[in-house]
Amino acid sequence: MKLPILVIAALAILTQASLSAQGVLRVQSGTSLKVSGAAFIKLNDANLDVSGSFSAGAGTVEFQGNGSDATISAAQPLTFNNLTVNKAGKVKLNTNIQADGNVTFTSGTLELNMKNLTLGQPNGKLINEIEASHITGSTGGEVILTTNLSSPNATNPGNIGVAITSGSNLGATTIRRGHTPLVMPVIGNSANRYFDISPANNNNLNATLKFYYFDSELNGLMESNLSLFRLNGAVWETGNLLSTVNQNVSPMQNWIEKPNLVHLSTWRLGACTVFSATITGSPSFCVNGTTTLDAGTGYTSYLWSTGATTQTLVVGTASTFTVTVSDANGCTGTDTQTVAQSTALSPAISGDTVLCVSGSNVLDAGTYTSYLWSTGATTQTILVTTAGTYTVQVSNAIGCTGTAGQVVTLGTVVPVISGLDSICVAGNAVLDAGVYDAYLWSTNATTNSINR
């Protein structure tokens, strides 16, 4: 049967030995508890309360049980070698602690409770943090470590939850992980996790930062809108950097990444306001011509699929173009436009090409957007009264042009009437004007022949 343990004198737990307590393990002022070698202290639904001296040695302190939450309290900060959380509820800190070995999570959570957990280096690290069992601290407190980083390659010091890649020597780097949310101006709520990263050398890093998180820390944020925000002075920003969210792996592997960082700072997860960019401009261009695509005004940066970073893009090849724009908060929107080459215009002039003496003809250039005739007219049709060559240049809606010409000649009709030029008394004669389109005799007849 496990009972509360009160240490009122010096107590040493020897190598491979185990001390189990239930309710409380209390080390009174003026007394000491020393763990020798790899011994175990197992606290089954028990609190640890140290007013005296506590020496962790190379041992392990494990919080177990299915009952109430447990606490770690001390008059001075405590240093553990290995600390294991293996209980149904939470272990709450009432004092600052340091772990020089593993902080292992089997079940339950470790509540910072406005206190700090320092991971002593080089061996202090978090083991098996998962969605159901990890560090929390919405009221405050941080996980802290300081380590030397020289050309880190996806290095996640102490498994603290942030991986850093850089070809530079960052030197002594302090990383602080907290879990308090923040309402950022304009942007709104942040997730219940942040990292403050302070390298000794913090310029021209060309670093990549991978920020890990748990779903339970999202604080209502939609993963599809997540972005990393950096504290620049008093302003939270994302900069002109694209984020990648990995949401399709185990909860332990949720992350968001930013490359090309000149320096490191304080980072939070937030959600960008969803907006859509809109590309305007003609989706087609003329043969040997170009068209201009416009991503719109009011953005702080532009990135086209061609690599261009201007608001507008002049294109002269058929393809699909994408633009990503950033607003003042660094949130991004995208749009895509497919551009095709227009077929060449081949206009044709219709209308009668033979002009009668003192007559007129109508020439028609067809249906287009604009017209320019050789006469200076700008209409679809023109009325011509003189023989000659007439040309027209037409344009369509995107400015492509085509040209056509037509020769109009003057027609000369000289009819000859055939038939008898005399008739007998009481006789008749047939007069024939020949083959034409229309006839008008002096008798008002409209046939090709008359009988007189």
State the Cα–Cα distance between residues 158 and 203, nearest whole angstrom: 24
438 or 37, higher pLDDT: 438
Per-residue pLDDT reduced to its tens digit, 45-103: 999 999 989 888 889 999 999 988 999 999 999 999 999 999 999 999 999 999 999 99
Q: What angle is formed at CA 290 by the lines to CA 320 and CA 333, rounded to 5 degrees?
A: 40
pLDDT of residue 241: 42
Per-residue pLDDT reduced to its tens digit, 99-155: 999 999 999 999 999 999 999 999 999 999 999 999 999 999 999 999 999 999 999
Q: How far is CA 156 from CA 126, 127, 195, 244, in A?
A: 11, 12, 12, 18
Give the mean pLDDT of the chain: 87
Which of 261, 119, 266 lies closest to 198 in space, CA to CA? 266
> Around Cβ 365, how many Cβ atoms within 10 Å?
26
Across the beta sheet with 284-285, what order do the strands follow?
Answer: 284-285, 332-341, 319-326, 301-304
pLDDT band at residue 432 using 50, 70 and 90 as cut-offs: confident
Q: Which range is least confidently modeled, 256-260, 375-379, 415-419?
A: 415-419
State the Cα–Cα distance between residues 370 and 363, nearest whole angstrom: 15
- CB of 184 closer than 8 Å to CB of 268: yes
Structure tokens at 288: 């040997």
State the Cα–Cα distance between residues 327 and 379, nearest whole angstrom: 46
Interval 410-432 mean pLDDT: 77
Look at phi and psi of residue 399 and say left if phi exceeds 0, alpha if psi is from -120 to 50, else beta: left
What does R_g of the chain's alpha carbons equal in angstroms?
45
- CB of 326 closer than 8 Å to CB of 299: yes
Look at phi and psi of residue 108 and say left if phi exceeds 0, alpha if psi is from -120 to 50, else beta: left
Per-residue pLDDT reduced to its tens digit, 212-236: 999 999 998 887 777 788 887 666 6
Strands 97-99 and 78-80: parallel
State the Cα–Cα distance between residues 305 and 333, nearest whole angstrom: 13
**pTM (whole model) above 0.85:** no
Structure tokens at 101: 């070995």
Paired with 335 in beta bridges are 323
pLDDT of residue 4: 52
Per-residue pLDDT reduced to its tens digit, 239-257: 434 444 443 334 456 888 8
HEC secondary structure over the chain? CCCCEEECCEEEECCCCEEEEEEEEEECCCCEEEECCCCEEEEEEEEEEECCEEECCCCEEEEEECCCCEEEEECCCEEECEEEEEEEEEEEECCCEEECCEEEEEEEEEECCCCCEEECCCCCEEECCECCECEECCCCCEEEEEEEEECCCCECHHHCCEEEECCCEEEEEEEEEECCCCEECCCEEEEEEEEEEEECCCCCCCEEEEEECCHHHCCCCCHHHEEEEEEECCEEECCCCCCEEECCCCHHHCEEEEEEECCCCEEEEEECCCCCCCCECCCEECCCCCEEEECCCCCCEEEECCCCCCCEEEECCCEEEEEEEECCCCCEEEEEEEEEECCCCCCCCECCCEECCCCCEEEECCCCCEEEECCCCCCCEEEECCCEEEEEEEECCCCCEEEEEEEEEECCCCCCCECCCCCCCCCCCEEECCCCCCCCCCCCCCCCEEEC
pLDDT band at residue 237 using 50, 70 and 90 as cut-offs: low
Interval 369-375 mean pLDDT: 96
State the Cα–Cα distance between residues 144 and 150, nearest whole angstrom: 19
- CB of 4 closer than 8 Å to CB of 46: yes
Q: How far is CA 142 from CA 11, 39, 135, 177, 192, in A?
A: 32, 28, 10, 5, 12
